Amino acid sequence: MDTATTELADSLRTLGAWEMPEELRMLEDTVRRFMTNEVIPLEEKLPHDAYALPEGQLKELQAKAKSLGLWCVQSPEEYGGAGLNLLAQCIVAEESAKCRMGAYVPACGAFGFDPPSIIFGGTEAQIRQYAVPSIERGEKAFFAISEPSGGSDPARAIQTKAERVGDHYVLNGSKMWITAANESRWGVAFARTGPSKSRDGVSAFIIDMDRPGVNVTKIPVIRSYAPYEVHFDNYEVPEENLLGVEGRGFELVDKLLVHGRVPYAAGTLGVASAALQLAIDWAKQRKTFGALLSDRQAIQWMIADSEIELQAARLMVYRAAWKADLGQDMKVDASMAKVLATETAGRVVDRCIQILGGMGVAQEMPLERWYREMRIKRIGEGPSEVQRMVVARHLLGSRS
């Protein structure tokens, strides 16, 4: 066989067996043991809907995570992060979601908080001033693109305006559903700097939260960890806080949005896997009318369907990450993975609640909390309908 054929055969053998490289298996085992031995024992002592560990405990956990190389896994190594590729990020996301805080506070914050990846498309001075201190200190930073006007195309929906006045910009408008805006020293926000209603004319800015003209308002939702509205009222941004080129902010963010959907999807599978294991353990010891639940076909089929669907979704997530790590276009793959994983996770958690019956919705179990979170996951990072639109446009466009 020629070299190309040999390489293809080797790739197919690897794909057919789906053997993860040894270093990724070691990573998976490290995160799993860290969650079991370090994170979950602390989390179990907290109230049901808690979304943060006490500061002292969190700092101790973070120190241990740093010693294992599990710190800001998405951020480049040269700036203090772990610099993991996308497949490795997915493995960490799935395993670190197997706790009560689940996919929205992975590992209860033990692995730090990656700054918005868009900052690494800025100047070296911007990275050193904002990203590096956040990574070093374990601080949060926000990413603000969504607005009250909504819409499936965030660029066209942006109405927040940035007017250039001398050596600075003046921002006016609001951003909605912004995570950690109340806890952040800085963030990145998008505003329209030109007359166009398309992506042209949208710019990205670094926002210092200690400047006048910006305030945040909590938006209560079905989970305990609430997002915020960020409102700008004649907020002045110095020109050196412009990220990239004026009017071309979306050139920096496209890759971030696509890649971010993949570990996001993986996190939901971690929650669903933990829920399924809980339901299996329950079915094997719970008796009704003289027989174990695990002996009843209805329960067996719910468990079997859940495992089948989870494995299928996991493979799709891995495939999207694998293509990204090879430098291939994986926009459609990311959309498919996001839809399948989040919708599968919701169904699995729902089935697990059904298996436990009344205990499934009791707060001494994590299932009802996971159920609320999984409902949100079908909306975050682009709702299922938008992801289906991406897939449909790709298929219909290629056939026209």
Q: What is the pLDDT of residues 31-73, one digit of tens each?
A: 999 999 999 999 999 999 999 999 999 999 999 999 999 999 9
Give pLDDT, residue 156.
73
What amino acid is encoded at 379 in this protein? I
- Whether 17 has a pLDDT exceeding 70, the answer reads no
Cβ neighbour number for residue 252 with a 10 Å cutoff: 22
Confidence of residue 400 (pLDDT cuts 50, 70, 90): very low
Write the burial class of residue 133 (CB in 10 Å: 0-12 exposed, 13-18 middle, 19+ buried).
middle
Give pLDDT, residue 375.
96
The dihedrals phi and psi of 93, each to the nearest 5 degrees, come to -60, -45
Q: Which two tokens stand for residue 145?
A: 């693109």
Give the C-alpha separation, 147 to 159, whole Å. Answer: 8
Residues assigned a catalytic role: 381
Mean pLDDT in the chain? Answer: 92
Taken in order of first residue, the domains within the chain and their CATH numbers are 3-137 (1.10.540.10), 142-243 (2.40.110.10), 251-399 (1.20.140.10)
Give pLDDT, residue 12.
44
- Whether 393 has a pLDDT exceeding 80, the answer reads yes
Confidence of residue 99 (pLDDT cuts 50, 70, 90): very high
Please check whether residue 147 is in contact with residue 156, taking contact to mean a CB–CB distance below 8 angstroms: no
The CA distances from residue 394 to 163, 323, 331, in Å, are 36, 17, 10
Give pLDDT, residue 9.
45
Give pLDDT, residue 47.
93
Give the C-alpha separation, 81 to 134, whole Å. Answer: 11
DSSP state of 248: B
- Whether 316 has a pLDDT exceeding 90, the answer reads yes
Pairing outcome for strands 186-192 and 142-144: parallel
- Whether 151 has a pLDDT exceeding 90, the answer reads no
> Contacts by 56-62 with C-beta closer than 8 Å and gap 24+?
58/108, 58/109, 58/110, 59/138, 61/107, 61/108, 61/109, 61/110, 62/109, 62/110, 62/111, 62/112, 62/138
DSSP state of 145: -
Beta carbons within 8 Å of 113's beta carbon, 6+ residues apart:
72, 134, 138, 139, 140, 141, 180
Confidence of residue 103 (pLDDT cuts 50, 70, 90): confident
Torsion angle (degrees, nearest 10) of CA 88, 273, 277, 298: -150
Q: Could you tell me how far CA 321 lies from the centroid of its own chain?
A: 14
E strand segments, 148-222: 161-165, 168-178, 186-192, 202-208, 214-218
What mean pLDDT comes out for the span 377-388? 93
Give pLDDT, residue 104.
78
The dihedrals phi and psi of 214, each to the nearest 5 degrees, come to -130, 135
pTM above 0.95, yes or no: no
Confidence of residue 267 (pLDDT cuts 50, 70, 90): very high
Q: Which two tokens stand for residue 22?
A: 């040894």
Closest CA to 348 of 364, 330, 362, 360: 360
